[in-house]
Amino acid sequence: MSVNVLSRVAERVYWLGRYLERAESTARLVTVNANLIMDLPVRLPLGWRPLIDITGSGDLFESLYGKGHATERNVCRFLATDTRNPGSIINSIIGVRDNARTVRENMPRITFEYINELYLFARSALVPGQSRSRRGDALTRISRLAQQLEGFLSQNMLHDAHWELMRLGNFIERADMTTRIIDVRTVDLIAGGHELLPFQDIQWRSVLRSFYAMQSYHASVREPVDPPLVLEFLFKDERLPRSYLRCLNSVRRSLRELPRNGAAVDACDAALSALKETDVKHLGGLEHSADLHAFINACQIRLGKLHGAIAETYFT
Amino acid sequence: MTIDWRNYESEGLFDELVLPSGRARTGAGKLVQALAKLSDDELVERKTAADLAIRSMGITFSVYHEGTNIDREWPFDIVPRLIMKREWDEIARGLKQRVRALNAFINDVYHHRRSLRDGVVPEDYVLRSREYRSRCAGIDPPYGVWSNVCGTDLVRDGDGSLYVLEDNLRVPSGVSYMLENRAVMKRIFPELFEHYAIHPVDDYPSELAACLRSLSPRAVRSPRIVVLTPGIYNSAYFEHAYLALEMAAELVEGSDLVVGDDDCVYMRTIGGLERVDVIYRRIDDLFLDPRAFNKDSMLGVPGLIRAWQAGNVALANAPGCGVADDKVIYTYVPDMIRYFLGEEPILANVPSYRCAEKDHRDYVLDNLQDLVVKPANESGGYGMLIGPQSTQRQRDQFVRVIRANPRNYIGQPTLALSTAPTIAGKTVEPRHLDLRPFILSGKDIYVTTGGLTRVALRKGSIVVNSSQGGGSKDTWVVEPATRERLQ
């Protein structure tokens, strides 16, 4: 008897992978931003708004909280606990739980206990308007629980088609998040113009920290933090697990394990060759910020097409 | 203090384990002694261990109205219920006889209607039953069997005699709990298994798979079997997933299946469409196919009935089988057994009054406070009147509904359901119970060893349904205890 995965189940494990990654990276993003802000002078135009842009939810945020109300309190609430925001941490975790519920026959039984622990912790520990330090602790713990869950699955789940589909979700979400983080920080730098220039170094360091990649950068690049080198590192270093190249290669590897992968592999290859043909180092200068932004846009459109090809082939 | 069986008050009822004197029934000696040896703390400890096992094994059932928290743990009582093998063999024989007659009846209803013409069952009752499906007429399911999986509810009255309460012919549930209860018992009371020769129950998933395979329209070595579930919000979803896993069958929802132009059923997979041979459906008839029945059904598969009629897929149970799962038709089952099999019924029906017949109706209306009144087509204990526990207002309401639609009601005497010792706090008290064995009919016929014992956890209650405060017990079919006799 063949062991093909039902299309509906395929879609659920894929989204389980995406939501898990999204919950983890959003928690990380808020933590890193809080640290960054403490390092910047109060008069600077920077603040919490970039996080809204990174998550691509500007319109929704403004409709809920009004224009110009991107305060720390509002943004944190919107990203962490607001159930009206489909991309909030709590909704991502609910997404993990609901998708896992329907595919629990395909996972070790105890997985559900890990997921419940994550959900119950997030629900009790994330409270709107809580102090910075409590929020920081809660987010760090959520990020850890999410990574623990991912690690558990990696070590214990059968590495069959279900697993590959979940990995597709993981890596597409991760690639997407990587480009968004780079994008918004560079756009900041353009918007902030010369006033922000002295703090450019801090900004790029915060980008690296968003990927837990400060030490990795030094170990790999062996140069001071420099925008062209950081970009090259984040986009093209195959050894960095969250680099855009590594994510795409991982997607490709998982796709190779699945049937009928033609269209999706083609979409993945298109994204890979576009990356290869682009001199990202060259886009590092402040004067090339607009080009960098355009390139990232193109990356996201390719990721969208890749998702589309996967959905078309496997979920319908 | 530990359990003192002399203080166990079964209040003049029939208790499955303990005699009125406080002594154990034949065969229950070792069990009763073992329980009495446990201290209060040990008893509570075992109970806690069972709850923990149930939680970690993820045994749950769902309750519709609970919104987000849809999974509840399955309430389980650690004191098993015993049935002696010799009594059980007779019951199993009776169950097979009954299900054979019921399937013969259903097949007759959808074909020649001989039994209706011969007046065994009034034609009018059958054709106007809510569960009669005219479009199933003339269809030939494999072996002439319509109800492949049947769950028959048995109860014991105060004098110890056994009755069939109802035949659940449509989509009976609970068998997964029967299996899990045994697994839990082995974990928390392993020492008891040393004293008894307890018949195993865990061959059920293989028997079910074999039964379903025997229905396959294609003569292939491993026909594709799927379990069709309404989804995670269904109260029995745990069971659907459990059985699918145990049978290595695919658990599908309606949207996973599609009927092709060739009138065959396929499931959508990442590798493309795959042919399906047998569908163990856990969805009611009316939701199976929006083209054939309920147009608004989102759970079903458009064209499924057409594929079934064309003989390209087997549906278990067959649509329309519920026509015999009607509390009024139930009253005719003993006659069906005589008519179709030429045998005397081995298992008795509960004496029943049909409200459609004037003298029966008058009796029911005059004696509502002593009777149980049941609607023809409800399950789960809903829509019933339990006379002795009812208020005048409820009785007045039933007078109205019975007069308005007498065909839809039967009355039965309130049975003094038998009891068994059940944990209540730090001791045991008698609680009422019933028994649901499962009967599989395909090429062969098979009866579970024992079944699911359901117990009303509330003192005095006779409602055993899990949705209404019921729990369950492990059911042991035991050989005469040789070791007990040797000592």
- Write out chain B's pLDDT in tens, 487 residues: 578 888 888 777 899 999 988 889 988 988 988 888 888 888 888 888 888 877 766 666 554 443 444 556 678 999 999 999 999 999 999 999 999 999 999 999 999 999 999 999 999 889 988 899 999 999 999 999 999 999 999 999 988 999 999 999 999 999 999 999 999 999 888 888 888 889 999 999 999 999 999 999 999 989 999 999 998 888 888 899 999 989 989 999 999 999 999 999 999 999 999 999 999 999 999 999 999 888 887 889 999 999 999 999 999 999 999 999 888 999 999 999 999 999 999 999 999 999 999 999 999 999 999 999 998 876 656 788 989 889 999 999 999 999 999 988 999 998 889 999 999 888 899 999 999 999 999 999 999 999 999 999 988 888 887 767 789 999 999 987 555 544 4
Residue B135, CB half-sphere, CA atoms under 13 Å: how many? 12
Contact B60, B72 (CB under 8 A): yes
User: Is A5 in Cβ contact with B269 (below 8 Å)?
Assistant: yes
> Closest Cα to residue B306, out of B111, B103, B136?
B136
- CA-nearest residue to B59 within chain A is A109
- B302 and B365 co-located in one domain: no
For B137: left if phi > 0, alpha if psi spans -120 to 50, otherwise beta; the answer is beta
- B306 and B371 co-located in one domain: no
> Closest Cα to residue A51, out of A66, A81, A31?
A31
Question: For the residues A150-175, what does the mean pLDDT come to?
Answer: 94
**Using CB atoms, which residue from A10, A105, A109 is nearest to B244?**
A105
What pLDDT is stored for residue A150 in this prediction? 94
Lowest model confidence (mean pLDDT) among A249-253, A270-274, B235-239? B235-239
**Confidence label for A206 from pLDDT (cuts 50, 70 and 90):** confident
Residues with Cβ < 8 Å from B308, sequence gap 6 or more?
B139, B314, B315, B318, B319
Q: Min CA distance, B218 vs chain A (Å)?
A: 15
The pairing of beta strand B250-252 with beta strand B225-228: parallel
A112 touches chain B (CB under 8 A): yes
Q: Min CA distance, A1 vs chain B (Å)?
A: 7
Residue B144 maps to a domain: no
What pLDDT is stored for residue B335 in this prediction? 97
CATH number of the domain within which B306 lies: 3.40.50.11290
Q: Give CA–CA dist A47/A164, Å, rounded.
A: 38
Q: Which two tokens stand for residue B430?
A: 């008698």
**Confidence label for A131 from pLDDT (cuts 50, 70 and 90):** confident
What pLDDT is stored for residue B69 in this prediction? 47
Is the dihedral angle over the CA atoms B16, B22, B28, B32 positive or is it negative? positive
Contacts of B213 in chain A (CB under 8 A): none
**Using CB atoms, which residue from B56, B241, B269 is nearest to A6?**
B269
User: Is B268 in Cβ contact with A6 (below 8 Å)?
Assistant: yes
For B416: left if phi > 0, alpha if psi spans -120 to 50, otherwise beta; the answer is beta
A7 touches chain B (CB under 8 A): yes
Q: Alpha helix (H) ranges present in B253-391?
A: 304-309, 327-330, 333-336, 358-366
Q: Min CA distance, B251 vs chain A (Å)?
A: 9
Contacts of A5 in chain B (CB under 8 A): 269-270
What pLDDT is stored for residue B9 in this prediction? 81
Contacts of B256 in chain A (CB under 8 A): 6-8
- The single residue listed with the structure tokens 């855009």 is A244
The residue from B398, B414, B430 where one domain ends is: B414
> Closest Cα to residue A153, out of A213, A99, A210?
A99
CA-atom Rg of chain A in angstroms: 19
User: Is A313 in Cβ contact with B58 (below 8 Å)?
Assistant: no
Whether A182 shows a pLDDT value over 90: the answer reads: no
- B308 and B357 co-located in one domain: no
Lowest model confidence (mean pLDDT) among A227-241, A243-257, B234-248? B234-248
Contacts of A104 in chain B (CB under 8 A): 58, 241
Residue B382 maps to a domain: yes
- B300 and B377 co-located in one domain: no
Q: Min CA distance, A148 vs chain B (Å)?
A: 19
Dmax (CA) of chain A: 67
Residue B328 maps to a domain: no
A3 touches chain B (CB under 8 A): no
The residue from B414, B431, B460 where one domain ends is: B414
Highest mean pLDDT among A124-138, A246-260, B410-424: A246-260
Whether A308 shows a pLDDT value over 60: the answer reads: yes
Say how many domains are in chain B: 2
| Residue A239 CB burial class (10 angstroms; 0-12, 13-18, ≥19) | exposed
Contacts of A102 in chain B (CB under 8 A): 231-232
pLDDT > 90 fraction of chain A, expressed in percent and rounded:
59
User: Is A101 in Cβ contact with B271 (below 8 Å)?
Assistant: no
Q: Give CA–CA dist A148/A158, Å, rounded.
A: 17
Contact A165, A17 (CB under 8 A): yes
What pLDDT is stored for residue B65 in this prediction? 42
What pLDDT is stored for residue B213 in this prediction? 96
- B285 and B367 co-located in one domain: no
Give the domain extent around B255.
Answer: 218-312
CATH number of the domain within which B357 lies: 3.30.1490.270
- B361 and B308 co-located in one domain: no
A8 touches chain B (CB under 8 A): yes
User: Is B270 in Cβ contact with A260 (below 8 Å)?
Assistant: yes
Give chain A as a 3 state SS string: CCCCCEHHHHHHHHHHHHHHHHHHHHHHHHHHHHHHHHHCCCCCCCCCHHHHHHCCCHHHHHHHHCCCCCCHHHHHHHHHCCCCCCCCHHHHHHHHHHHHHHCHHHCCCCHHHHHHHHHHHHHHHCCCCCCHHHHHHHHHHHHHHHHHHHHHHHHHCCCCHHHHHHHHHHHHHHHHHHHHHHHHHHHHHHHHHHHHHHHHHHHHHHHHHHCCCHHHHHHHHCCCCCHHHHHHHHHHCCCCCCCHHHHHHHHHHHHHCCCCCHHHHHHHHHHHHHHHHCCHHHHHCHHHHHHHHHHHHHHHHHHHHHHHHHHHHHHC
User: Is B58 in Cβ contact with A7 (below 8 Å)?
Assistant: no
Question: For the residues A163-176, what does the mean pLDDT come to?
Answer: 96
A83 touches chain B (CB under 8 A): no
Question: What does the pLDDT look like over A276-303, one tens digit per residue?
Answer: 999 999 887 777 878 888 999 999 999 9
Q: Give CA–CA dist B349/B374, Å, rounded.
A: 15
Q: At what angle do helices A244-256 and A161-196 cross, to 10 degrees?
A: 170
Q: Min CA distance, B118 vs chain A (Å)?
A: 48
- CA-nearest residue to B250 within chain A is A6
Is the dihedral angle over the CA atoms B305, B311, B314, B316 positive or is it negative? positive
Residue B347 maps to a domain: no
CA-atom Rg of chain B in angstroms: 23
Whether A1 shows a pLDDT value over 50: the answer reads: no
Per-residue exposure over B11-47, b if at least 16 CB sit within 10 Å of its own CB, e if not? eebbbbbbbeeeebbebbbbbbeebeeeeeeebeebb
Whether A213 shows a pLDDT value over 80: the answer reads: yes
B279's enclosing H/E stretch is strand B278-281
Q: Give CA–CA dist A293/A231, Å, rounded.
A: 12
- CA-nearest residue to A8 within chain B is B256
Question: For the residues A210-236, what does the mean pLDDT come to?
Answer: 91
What pLDDT is stored for residue B156 in this prediction? 96
Residue of B180, B232, B251, B269 to mutate, interface with A, max A Cβ within 10 Å? B269
Contacts of B267 in chain A (CB under 8 A): 6
- The single residue listed with the structure tokens 């079997």 is B225
- CA-nearest residue to B244 within chain A is A105
Lowest model confidence (mean pLDDT) among A11-20, A53-62, A93-102, A177-186? A177-186
